[in-house]
Structure 1
Amino acid sequence: MANSSAQAKIMYPKNEFRAVWIATVANIDWPKNSTDPVEKQKSDFIEILDAYKKLRYNAVIVQIRSNGDAFYPTDLAPWSRNLTGKEGKAPSPYYDTLEWMIHEAHQRGFEFHAWLNPYRATSSANLEIVSKKHDLIQHPEWMIKYAGKYYYNPGLPEVQNHLTRVVEEVVKKYDIDAIHFDDYFYPYTVDGEKFNDTDSFNKYSNGLELADWRRNNVNVFVQQIATSIKKIKPWVQFGISPFGVWRNQSVDLRGSDTQAGQTNYDDLFADPLHWMENNWIDYILPQLYWSLDHPKASYTKLLKWWSENSKNAAIYVGNGSYKIKSDADKKWDSPFEIPNQIDYSRSFNNVQGNAFFSAKWFLNKNQEVTQLLAENQYKYHAIPAAVPNFKKLVFDVPRVTSVIKDKNELVISLQPTRNPMRYVVFYGTDTNGDINSDDPSQIVDKFLVQKNNNRLAIRVPISVLENKSKFALSFIDLYGNESKEILTQLPQTVVKTN
């Protein structure tokens, strides 16, 4: 069992995952409208990145497949109507949207987690808007209609294999940091509706009860995805963000002290504890979208439960920023609810960060909350720690070969290391202080290492170096491990003293 004892509150952790979900389904966050011109799409996406960079976030979880569609060119799915207004229509002027988003995110030091909804095929039953290339048209035998939508049947091996190919293509083709699934496995139950998988159950159940067979289908798929990712790029993480309640204690003594109307295990046929037990996922990110003291499912009780019941994976927490000042639970009217939730999550030494649903709620909105975060919990930069399965000592250090200064930036050239560098962490302090890489207040920023043939470099704006005279660099490898820092001399002319 993971160690979950509360620790003395660290106000400013150096290593912390700070993520935001960027939802594209129904144009929740981006693009703002499905018919926006490409240039507006790009400027709106950059606005999201820059807003969260300013708040010192370090990861984006971007939805690239929501309804059997794609935000990238592929023969396995049509282009998303949320991107171009019509399913199957490519962007015009053409651009590989996913490649572009990854590039912009990495340029700003964000991890890019590619978020896919594997099982949801459509958001409605309207077949007229579905592309001829969509799996619903190509393979109607894979689909189950339920509550006005179509879903892939998780019980069919051919569906599991097809969805695995979808993930494998993204991992092979794109420079992502993680594959991310959210809480949509078997659909949330709707009264009076039946998920009709009787034929596949009769064919493949092999003596299992229906609920056990469904859970096994999800388990087999999760294991298959995990194995595929690591075979292709072992440094790419696999994370899952399940619904916040595994089971209620009234049904299972191992469950949480909650009265949730639906649960992972019993309604979505998803068993996150089993995935962690078997080392299939690198991080778990339960969606705890309730207030700290909610009577039926409190953030406080659930966070403690996940802390005590998680193993073999990093634990992050999903926070419901969409509820601020817009929920029946009036606790969300307080600007301190989210800051207090972050403080509480930091009190458990095996909980390593937070993610927020969704991007638009801190984009020129809820300024009281964002100001509190910027001045307190997120006052300084933080770097995501390497997830448990990736942690290792890095013996290389970055070596500076040259520093070229122009009016606005330094171009710092670096010697290649045995361990490939993804980022360089830049530390700085004033004349009176010594460099301490454990002190997040000394993190100037994290810079993407740019490769040109065998030459490596980072570009550092001179403006971020003002009032600093001592500097050090470390690097972060593909797995998220940070090297030791090394002191570095920079041209003194960049320092402006007050």
Structure 2
Amino acid sequence: MHPKNEFRGVWIATVVNIDWPKTSMDNVEKEKADYLEILEAYKKLNYNAVIVQVRSVGDAIYPSEFAPWSRFLTGKEGLAPNPYYDTLAWMIEQAHNRGFEFHAWLNPYRATFDLNKNLLSPNHDLFKHPEWMIEYGGKYYYDPALPEVQAHLTKVVKEVVDKYDIDAIHFDDYFYPYAVPGKVFNDNASYQKYGAGLSRADWRRANVSNFVHAISATIKESKPWVQFGISPFGVWRNKSQDPKGSETQSTSNYDDLYADPMLWMDQNWIDYILPQLYWSMNNTRASYSKLVKWWSENANPNTAIYIGHATYKIRGDGDKSWNYMTEIPTQIDFLRTFKNVSGSAYFSSKWFMGKNFDVVRHLEENQYKYPALPAAVPNLRHVIIDTPKLLEYKKDSIKYDFTFQSPLNTKVRYMVVYGAEHISKIDTNDATKIIEKVTIKEVDGKINFAIAAGKLNLYKACAVTFIDYYANESTPIAIDLKKPFKNYTPNQPNENR
């Protein structure tokens, strides 16, 4: 089974240099080479989205009005890259050039990774606004209850959406912090001030939900095509806590992290949900297979569902199922049996880079043998009224050059080229026929791109479609590659009639 439309993402974590940069002391040239190596490895595996952590602890891997440069990027918080470059703008461009969606991943509430204030820049919010912070379990957190915190974090997101050509804003599972035994998250002052008669648990959930709602509205107001996706912890609630919950014995979003993904979906605040199902197929406390089924049955039709997989557990977990090469491939096959589950993401990128070769090879030859295109999320689906209009194509021994007219009504992100044995046999629903997804630049009302002759020579015909910024695909134009192309210009309408 080779779905033509499937989200295939990978998380690239920057916090404490989990994935990238490999160390905080790497020079700019090495950083860039290492990032491109990640993109090339996942392009070869036919992935189509990167989820890159751009803010992890009150910092930024981009020039920000609201946060200092990350020490994980430059070795010292507040220090810009040298030689200077806008790291995020460059990363987005490189991802798009290879056909990836770029999802900018932010951790809104975590302010520091430890209690060592000497590592922080004087411009860190901990110094500028100590009244916003709560110390808990060896870290500082922004207090999610404070209106000024919510306003500030909304500006942080808005800056990224406004300034950068991203495809999505992404939050992970860190809302109120995971419980630390024997410690109390002391939000008494704000609860007394703002609690308004709610139980503390309901009040905390309302704080998170109000923030999620504000972020959603902010994104869509600025750029309606930018998606808002959240990757919550894999369990909403256990059945023992709520008859609607899953058959699990686990920490839960609702009761422990004060996050209510069901509400966010029902209110249409998020475009996709990506629950982190980091367990094996038949884990006794929380089984991957039961949870995929649960999310499939309980998610809202207006929200795309993707599943998060734990590549970091392969051959490194107490649950011995992870010792088998087949665990991840089996998980992919299983989720593909659910009609409304439309993709996967993997934590994290380093686990398929120079390790777990047998799993990588298996995916390359089986589940991910052919490319796939992420489909438009439900809230952003629409019909593209433009069809590609070919102005000319030329070929030589090295490449085929195509020139298309820029469409009138469509902002084009990519064009997709499909191969066929004959012009009458074109099937753009067949993933095995995708030759290339090309990032395009429009110049003077025209779109030009080239495809290597080695790829197109295998076919006698091809079809070309547009993909717009919302990830919708147009109807195709068919091109007979065996005939010389004649430019056909229809009669111009008489403007004076």
**What SS does the aligned partner of 1:159 have?**
helix
TM-superposed CA distance for 1:334, in Å, is 0.7
TM-superposed CA distance for 1:410, in Å, is 3.3
For 1:463 and 1:423, how far apart are their aligned partners in 2? Answer: 21
| 1:303 counterpart = 2:272 | no
Could you list the runs of 5+ residues in structure 1 that have no partner in the other structure?
1-10, 494-498
Could you tell which deviates more after superposition, 363-372 or 458-467? 458-467
**What SS does the aligned partner of 2:425 have?**
coil
TM-superposed CA distance for 1:453, in Å, is 4.2
Aligned residue for 1:487?
478
Letter in structure 1 aligned against 2:284? P
Q: Deviations over 1:406-450 (max 9, x none)?
A: 664333221111111111111012359811111111011211111
Aligned counterpart for 1:238 among listed residues 197, 220, 228: 228
For 1:433 and 1:392, how far apart are their aligned partners in 2? Answer: 27
Aligned residue for 1:255?
245
Aligned residue for 1:224?
214
Is the contact between residue 403 and residue 490 of structure 1 (CA under 8 Å) also seen in structure 2?
no
Is the contact between residue 418 and residue 463 of structure 2 (CA under 8 Å) also seen in structure 1?
yes
- Aligned positions of 1:114-153 closer than 5 A: 114-153=104-143
| 1:366 counterpart = 2:356 | yes
Q: Deviations over 1:155-188 (max 9, x none)?
A: 0000000000000011011000000000000000
Is the contact between residue 423 and residue 462 of structure 2 (CA under 8 Å) also seen in structure 1?
no
TM-superposed CA distance for 1:30, in Å, is 0.5
Aligned counterpart for 2:254 among listed residues 265, 272, 278: 265
Letter in structure 2 aligned against 1:371? R
Aligned residue for 2:280?
291
| 1:383 counterpart = 2:373 | yes
For 2:277 and 2:304, how far apart are their aligned partners in 1? Answer: 16
Aligned residue for 1:4?
none
Aligned residue for 2:201?
211
Aligned residue for 2:492?
none
For 1:129 and 1:105, how far apart are their aligned partners in 2? Answer: 31
Aligned counterpart for 1:422 among listed residues 413, 420, 428: 413
| 1:282 counterpart = 2:271 | yes
For 1:79 and 1:352, how far apart are their aligned partners in 2? Answer: 35
Distance 1:42 1:121, change over 3 A: same
TM-superposed CA distance for 1:332, in Å, is 0.6
For 1:28 and 1:290, how far apart are their aligned partners in 2? Answer: 21
Alignment RMSD:
1.4
Is the contact between residue 424 and residue 458 of structure 1 (CA under 8 Å) also seen in structure 2?
no
TM-superposed CA distance for 1:458, in Å, is 2.4
Letter in structure 2 aligned against 1:251? Q
| 1:466 counterpart = 2:472 | no
**What SS does the aligned partner of 1:21 have?**
strand
TM-superposed CA distance for 1:392, in Å, is 1.2
Is the contact between residue 423 and residue 460 of structure 2 (CA under 8 Å) also seen in structure 1?
no
For 1:328 and 1:39, how far apart are their aligned partners in 2? Answer: 38
Could you list the runs of 5+ residues in structure 2 that have no partner in the other structure?
485-497
Distance 1:71 1:491, change over 3 A: farther
Letter in structure 2 aligned against 1:273? M
Letter in structure 2 aligned against 1:192? G
TM-superposed CA distance for 1:384, in Å, is 0.6
Is the contact between residue 423 and residue 461 of structure 2 (CA under 8 Å) also seen in structure 1?
no
**What SS does the aligned partner of 2:286 have?**
coil
Letter in structure 2 aligned against 1:456? I
| 1:103 counterpart = 2:93 | yes
- Aligned positions of 1:168-187 closer than 5 A: 168-187=158-177
Is the contact between residue 469 and residue 492 of structure 1 (CA under 8 Å) also seen in structure 2?
no
For 1:27 and 1:327, how far apart are their aligned partners in 2? Answer: 21
Q: Deviations over 1:228-282 (max 9, x none)?
A: 000000000000000000111011111100000x210011000000000100000
Is the contact between residue 461 and residue 482 of structure 2 (CA under 8 Å) also seen in structure 1?
no
TM-superposed CA distance for 1:289, in Å, is 0.2
Is the contact between residue 310 and residue 347 of structure 2 (CA under 8 Å) also seen in structure 1?
yes
TM-score with structure 2 setting the length: 0.95
Q: Deviations over 1:364-391 (max 9, x none)?
A: 2111111111111111111111100011
Aligned counterpart for 1:346 among listed residues 331, 336, 342: 336
Q: Deviations over 1:78-136 (max 9, x none)?
A: 00001000000000000000000000000000000000000000100000010011101
Aligned residue for 1:442?
433
For 2:480 and 2:29, how far apart are their aligned partners in 1? Answer: 41
Identity %: 59
TM-score with structure 1 setting the length: 0.95
Aligned residue for 2:382?
392
| 1:85 counterpart = 2:68 | no
Letter in structure 2 aligned against 1:106? H
Is the contact between residue 24 and residue 74 of structure 2 (CA under 8 Å) also seen in structure 1?
yes
For 2:136 and 2:21, how far apart are their aligned partners in 1? Answer: 28
Q: Deviations over 1:6-59 (max 9, x none)?
A: xxxxx1111100000011111111001111011111110000000000000010
TM-superposed CA distance for 1:62, in Å, is 0.5
Letter in structure 2 aligned against 1:317? I
Q: Deviations over 1:285-324 (max 9, x none)?
A: 0000000000000001111110111002000000001100
For 2:451 and 2:401, how far apart are their aligned partners in 1? Answer: 6
**What SS does the aligned partner of 1:109 have?**
coil
Aligned residue for 2:488?
none
For 1:326 and 1:62, how far apart are their aligned partners in 2? Answer: 24
Aligned residue for 2:491?
none
Distance 1:408 1:141, change over 3 A: farther
For 2:192 and 2:349, how far apart are their aligned partners in 1? Answer: 43
For 2:482 and 2:401, how far apart are their aligned partners in 1? Answer: 12
Letter in structure 2 aligned against 1:223? H
Aligned residue for 1:456?
447
Q: Deviations over 1:183-237 (max 9, x none)?
A: 0000000001111111011001111110000000000000000000000000000
Could you tell which deviates more after superposition, 395-404 or 163-172? 395-404
Aligned pair count reads: 482
TM-superposed CA distance for 1:490, in Å, is 4.1
TM-superposed CA distance for 1:492, in Å, is 7.5
TM-superposed CA distance for 1:455, in Å, is 2.8
